[in-house]
Amino acid sequence: MAQLNLHYKAYDLQLEHTFTVAVHSRTTTPIMLVELEYDGIIGYGESAMPPYLGESQKTASEFFAKLDLAQFSDPFRIAEILDYVDKIAPANYAAKAGIDIALHDLVGKILGKPWYKIWGYNAEDTPVTSFTIGIDTPEVVKEKTQKASPYKMLKAKVGLDNDKEMIATIREVTNTPICVDANQGWKDKYKALDEIEWLATQGVVFVEQPLPKEQIDDIAWLTQHSPLPIIADEALQRLSDVAELKGIYSGINVKLMKATGMREAHQMLQLAKSLGMKTMLGCMTETSCAISAATQLSSLADWADLDGNLLITNDLFDGVKVVNGKMQLNDRAGIGVVKIQ
């Protein structure tokens, strides 16, 4: 009888530009490439682990080494398999996501259908994606903004002391709508509200994680008074967090690497929508593998920020594309990728 065979390998993504957000700066992102083979068919997955989140190629390898997936002879038992994986050890969110994505790719390939079709979504309903402009000198910000002209939404990283300069520099180049991510960089709710009121006059659409996630009362106050939606990112990990954030934030930013993969990210987006919250689908620096997996879910998102594969120089997959600023799905089975290296 056929069984599930797991293979994994460390790989380092090279970033085109040094990436600076409010809390850190870096030029590479460590990932694990995951393959699940069953009866000659290979499903691809990926675990992307920006260092500040605490996982590493070492912790992921140790996690994978604990798994005995060969005990499963039916890959269609997705819930049973992923519940087993989730219970092996706490946390290890990205490692779990790598297995989840590979399993979805495998099952989709066995069925001969992409996941957005299996779930019943319309490929035309995908959102536009934002393109991220990191914190940098005005010259570099202008250059990056010019290069981002095909995108219909820009994402500006703020939260250091040059926020207004960042936005004003982008506005010298373009009137494209901007979303803003402070990555918990502001500390005072009154200053944050002042800032947001100014941002609202600059064509900014929403603000992600303005204050540290621990300042729950301040964030709830800010959301009540803010002219722009306030979106939780760092404050959100998994499905069990979603309902608690209602009333504190306007919406949530779901990422496969936080959510342990496609299955739970799907549940989170559905729950958030049912609670009347705004939905956003984000990413880490990832190859087209994880980005294509996330895009299968993207018709549930009001906004997408799925540009992680566009910020690297050594992608290993061909997958979904951005066409006229909008995520474009393809008809390939599974998560919609082929390996190109």
State in angstroms the smallest separation of the CB of 193 from Mg ion. 19
- Phi-psi region for residue 71, left (φ > 0), alpha (ψ -120 to 50) or beta? alpha
The set of residues, in sequence order, having a beta carbon less than 8 Å from that of 234 and lying 6+ positions away, is: 183, 184, 209, 213
The set of residues, in sequence order, having a beta carbon less than 8 Å from that of 44 and lying 6+ positions away, is: 33, 34, 35, 101, 102, 105, 289, 317, 334, 335, 337, 339
State in angstroms the smallest separation of the CB of 181 from Mg ion. 4
Residue with tokens 């959301």: 223
Nearer to Mg ion, 181 or 302 (CB): 181
Distance of CA 82 to the CA centre of its chain: 20
State in angstroms the smallest separation of the CB of 233 from Mg ion. 4
Nearer to Mg ion, 20 or 328 (CB): 20
Q: Tell me the residue number closest to Mg ion, measured at CB.
A: 233
Q: Which of 86, 136, 181, 264 binds Mg ion (CB under 5 A)?
A: 181
How far is it, in rounded angstroms, from Cα 308 to Cα 140? 19
Nearer to Mg ion, 53 or 111 (CB): 53
Tokens of 239: 């499905």
286 sits near Mg ion (criterion: CB under 5 A): no
Q: How far is CA 88 from CA 6, 8, 39, 80, in A?
A: 15, 17, 25, 13
Nearer to Mg ion, 67 or 236 (CB): 236
Nearer to Mg ion, 239 or 252 (CB): 252
The set of residues, in sequence order, having a beta carbon less than 8 Å from that of 140 and lying 6+ positions away, is: 17
Nearer to Mg ion, 169 or 184 (CB): 184
Q: Residue count at the site for Mg ion (CB under 5 A)?
A: 3
State in angstroms the smallest separation of the CB of 253 from Mg ion. 6
- Which x/- pattern, by CB under 5 A, does the window 245-284 give for Mg ion? ----------------------------------------
- Neighbouring CB atoms inside 10 A of 188's CB total 12
305 sits near Mg ion (criterion: CB under 5 A): no
85-93, 131-139, 176-184, 313-321 -> range binding Mg ion (CB under 5 A): 176-184
115-123, 162-170, 173-181, 257-265 -> range binding Mg ion (CB under 5 A): 173-181
How far is it, in rounded angstroms, from Cα 157 to Cα 178? 10
State in angstroms the smallest separation of the CB of 231 from Mg ion. 8
Q: Residue 251: in which H helix or E strand, if any?
A: strand 251-255
11-19, 38-46, 200-208, 324-332 -> range binding Mg ion (CB under 5 A): 200-208
State in angstroms the smallest separation of the CB of 13 from Mg ion. 18
How far is it, in rounded angstroms, from Cα 137 to Cα 54? 29
Q: Residue 115: in which H helix or E strand, if any?
A: helix 115-118
33-41, 177-185, 194-202, 325-333 -> range binding Mg ion (CB under 5 A): 177-185
315 sits near Mg ion (criterion: CB under 5 A): no
Q: Which of residues 220-239 bind Mg ion (CB under 5 A)?
A: 233
| Vertex 183: Cα angle to 182 and 188 (nearest 5) | 60
Q: Which of residues 201-220 bind Mg ion (CB under 5 A)?
A: 208
Residue with tokens 């594309």: 321
Nearer to Mg ion, 157 or 263 (CB): 157
DSSP 223-245: HHH-SS-EEESTT--SHHHHHHH
State in angstroms the smallest separation of the CB of 183 from Mg ion. 6
Q: Which residues bind Mg ion (CB under 5 A)?
A: 181, 208, 233
